[in-house]
Chain A
Amino acid sequence: MSVRHRKTATFMLVTLLLLSVILGCAKQENTPASTSTNGAANEKSITLSWPRDIGTMNPHVYNPSQLFAQSMIYEPLVSYKQGGKLEPALAESWTISKDGKTYTFKLRKGVKFSDGTLFNAAIVKKNFDAIMKNEKTHSWLGIVGVLDKTEAVDDSTFRMTLKEPYYPVIQDLSVVRPFRFLGEAGFPDDGDTSKGIKKPVGTGPWMLDEYKQDEYATFKRNPNYWGTAPKMDKITVKIIPDGETRVMAFEKGDLDLIYGEGVISLDAFKQLRDTNQYVTTLSEPVGTRSLLLNSSNPKLADLRVRLALQHGFNKQAMVEGVTSGLEETADTVLSKNYPYTNVDLQPIGYDVEKSKALLDEAGWKLPAGGTVREKDGQQLDFELIFDKTDPIQKAMAETIQAEWGELGVKVNLTGLELTVQIKRLRSNQFDLYFWYNYGAPYDPHSFINVIAKKSFGISEVLSALPMKKDLDQQVHEALSSTDETKRQELYASILKTLQKQSAIVPISYIKKTAVYQKKITNFVFPANRDENPFEGIEIGK
């Protein structure tokens, strides 16, 4: 063979190899996701998208497992419902000792895990032991700090003893992680679930059917489920990280539902709503977007300055303009759909004249010909830090800068990465900061907890308030009180103080969005911020 022919043959061979690789790659079987909506003739299924992979489905660990998916497989002892009502789930009933330290749960009988094994007090204890083995990991949750002892009294009775009374025990047990229950077959040999589980076995209405990391997950109905069986046979979750792609997949009909917080842009939501071809809906407030005015900064330690700043911007116009009305203006730090928060609080409204007067009164005067107020040779300026990847925070920060600029208050904006932003909050290195409360079922008790407990950043923000010690004391009493009326009074007092002190300025209530095809009926947002909405969903004809 001549050199030229040899070269030609090599070239042909390489081309052939390349082609076979491409065709080989292309000839893969269809993903179930692409056929899920047209599955078996009578199968009722819906497909939705989620920005991230569902994760390892370990009930006792956090990221990367997604809360909504964990809540499909695993159940709590107690379930959180609308308005903060706590209803029996895996526990049929519970009793609390008079001293508020012993909780005895009667477990629901006849409950089986998806693999057919029985749910009983022994497995509850085993799960609690696995969780408490990594106590430090879960120390953010109040119950973990006070839990002393757990015991399986008999097959259907589980008892916990606390070191000290802590009223939100039941609320803490209703959260999605870590206090949910893995079946025996899922436990690793050494019982330490923090390193991984063998398989996801739960008592919930769904079980994981097929899963391909970063691509899709399908859940089918758990045949052993003790409660009312879901109407759907199958839920397919497609992992689509890009918001615009998600919207186009929905418009094409590949998705039946887009649900969550910030999963699509507000513009896309409005655009889908305006077509009138789909159902678009907003949840009740799930959290409050607030602005922290750090009182440990001497300029902000003056109540008159804080009040002036709150009076000094048009919240209504800003929320309307920036979120297109998809968030609701907030007058109080906690919305009224949590327990103990239906308190009559005086809103601090938009009033530029009052704002200017307060600043003058505080000694911050506009120098002749100047634009920034001054006092004792110091300018009235602040640094507002915000998450630079969040377009809403950025737009709000710019609006506030402009409005306060008119008052003679200079605001310097600093866009940061979220991790750096959080670090600055925790180390108390900021003047102004966008902050969010935790939502249901964590609030209101988690909210008051961070008011008193250091290192979360909020206690430090309030540190210069003259009544900070009293506030801390009230928080401690509210969390440990066994008297419902007293607790309500304490909450009312705490919320009133915070409202008057204006160090946490409520801006807007954040809502979850859902967009779905018209064939879906009975869609209800879950009361628990982290749960799934698939309980009652049906497909109409």
Chain B
Amino acid sequence: MISYIGKRMVAVIPIVLFATLVTFALIHISPVDPAEAYLTAAHIYPTPEILEQKRHEFGLDQPLLTQYMHTLQRISRLDFGASYLTNKPVWDEVKARLPATVELALSSMSLSIVVSIPLGVLAAMRKNGWIDILSRGISYFGASIPQFWLGYLLIFFFSVRLDWLPVEGRGTWQHLVLPTLTLSLVLIALYTRLLRSSVLEQLQETYVQYARTRGIRERMIMLRHILKMAITPLITSMGMNLGKLLTGTIIVEQVFSWPGFGRYFVEAIFNRDIPVIQCYVFLAACLFIVCNLLVDLVHLYMDPRISSKGRAEQ
């Protein structure tokens, strides 16, 4: 297992390198010069002299290859430079904002798991019953409503009208409720349908009929056999969604004034704060890779038939 993880980690290097190369290229293709972007973000008028000075300071007068090598060297030390806007090290700023994003990501993921697993299973077991219709309704609603709109609706009803929860901000568990609900609904919609169809598929399998003929109770069949098999596609989907949640739930953070990573990134885009954008892309690539790896490890743990070489042994 450890050697497997090791090998996977080594495989990460070219992907991360590719991500840094793409970011570097995008920044250089962009019509706005980074030195000019810095001055604009800082509200300093870009006279030719100061532009020249900044270009030299940022090493933009060096050949592209040298610039890229420098970028790589710095990134390997987790040094993303200073934000154009605040002049503070980007890595420190990101570290300060990550807890808020992680908090929201974990709570949303947990809520969606807690709700969608029983809902998905029950919907499959009572196919076309009222619970199935209900789950279908939730899924339809969750998948089709834009998140910012849902956020506004929740704020309007639960905060403005009923005065139960705060409109925005972070600090208490009450602050966490509405953004969590907003983020979870779409996940619940997805997971419930996924699990339902996957459980229905398993129900057709011969091992289920065999278990039934052995006289095992229906509940036990569901918990010990079907669920274990049916949950596999769900885990893959959760891994990818966790990556998305951790890279910043941009719209939801904006709507609920949640002081997280996503909001920081949005501001960076508006201000062309290139060091921040570079750091974001790098982190996003890493987070997705780690989530992918986690998914594979969980699969490996749950289904010993899958060898650490990554294929099912027949």
Contact = CB atoms under 8 A, between A and B. Distances in A.
A29 B170 CA distance: 10
Given A22-B107, A455-B47, A63 B171 contact: no
A241 B171 contact: no
Interface stretch (A249-257, A353-361, A400-408): A249-257
A136 B176 CA distance: 46
B166 interface: yes
Contacts of B48: 455
A422 B107 contact: no
Contacts of B86: 55-56, 64
Interface in A229-257: 238-242, 244-245, 248-249, 251-252, 254
Contacts of B87: 195-196
A52 B267 contact: yes
B78 to A, nearest CB: 21
A445 to B, nearest CB: 16
B173 A26 contact: yes
A412 interface: no
Interface stretch (A30-38, A91-99, A118-126, A329-337): A30-38
The residue among B41, B46, B53, B167 with the most chain A CB atoms within 10 A of its own CB is: B167
Interface in A459-518: none
The residue among B49, B172, B257 with the most chain A CB atoms within 10 A of its own CB is: B257
B56 to A, nearest CB: 13
Contact of B103 (A25, A30, A216, A239): A25
A281 to B, nearest CB: 23
B231 to A, nearest CB: 12
B172 A248 contact: no
A28 B263 CA distance: 21
A423 interface: yes
B160 interface: yes
Contacts of A216: 169
A18 B85 CA distance: 35
Interface string B162-185: 010011111111001000000000
A213 B36 CA distance: 26
A419 B37 contact: yes
Contacts of A213: 96, 259
Contacts of A55: 86
Interface residues of A, number: 51
Contacts of B53: 136
A137 B263 CA distance: 28
Interface string B11-52: 000000000000000000001100011001111111111100
A139 B43 CA distance: 12
Interface residues of B, number: 52
Contacts of A426: 46
A136 B40 CA distance: 14
B280 to A, nearest CB: 16
Contact of B47 (A28, A33, A139, A241): A139
Interface string A3-39: 0000000000000001101110111111101100000
A21 B41 CA distance: 37
Nearest to B31: A420
Contact of B160 (A19, A25, A251): A251
A63 B110 contact: no
A380 interface: no
B299 interface: no
A21 to B, nearest CB: 6
Interface string A199-216: 000000000000011111
A63 B50 contact: no
A238 B257 contact: yes
Contact of A248 (B45, B156, B263, B266): B156
B236 interface: no
A136 B272 contact: no
A61 interface: yes
B256 interface: yes
Interface in A133-174: 136-137, 139-140
A245 B257 contact: yes
Nearest to A61: B42
Given A18-B106, A248-B160, A419-B40, A239 B257 contact: yes
Contacts of A27: 173
Contact of B166 (A23, A29, A34, A456): A34
Contacts of A251: 160
A241 B259 CA distance: 10
A62 interface: yes
A64 B32 contact: no
A212 B86 CA distance: 15
Given A241-B263, A423-B31, A29 B50 contact: no
Given A22-B106, A195-B87, A213-B96, A244 B152 contact: yes
B254 A241 contact: yes
B155 interface: yes
A139 B167 CA distance: 43
B255 interface: yes
B159 interface: yes
Nearest to B228: A7
A540 B99 CA distance: 41
Given A52-B267, A240-B257, A242-B257, A139 B50 contact: yes
A52 B31 CA distance: 26
Contacts of B173: 23, 26-27
The residue among B99, B155, B168 with the most chain A CB atoms within 10 A of its own CB is: B168
Interface of A: 18-19, 21-23, 25-31, 33-34, 52, 55-56, 61-64, 136-137, 139-140, 195-196, 212-216, 238-242, 244-245, 248-249, 251-252, 254, 419-420, 422-423, 426, 455-456
Given A22-B106, A25-B107, A215-B169, 6 more contacts: A29-B171, A64-B86, A248-B152, A248-B160, A254-B167, A423-B32
17 contacts: A18-B110, A21-B106, A25-B106, A26-B172, A26-B176, A34-B172, A62-B42, A63-B42, A216-B169, A245-B168, A248-B152, A248-B156, A252-B160, A419-B32, A419-B36, A419-B37, A455-B48
Q: Which 10 A-B pairs have the closest CB atoms?
A: A26-B173, A62-B43, A214-B259, A140-B45, A25-B103, A31-B171, A249-B167, A136-B50, A240-B257, A63-B43
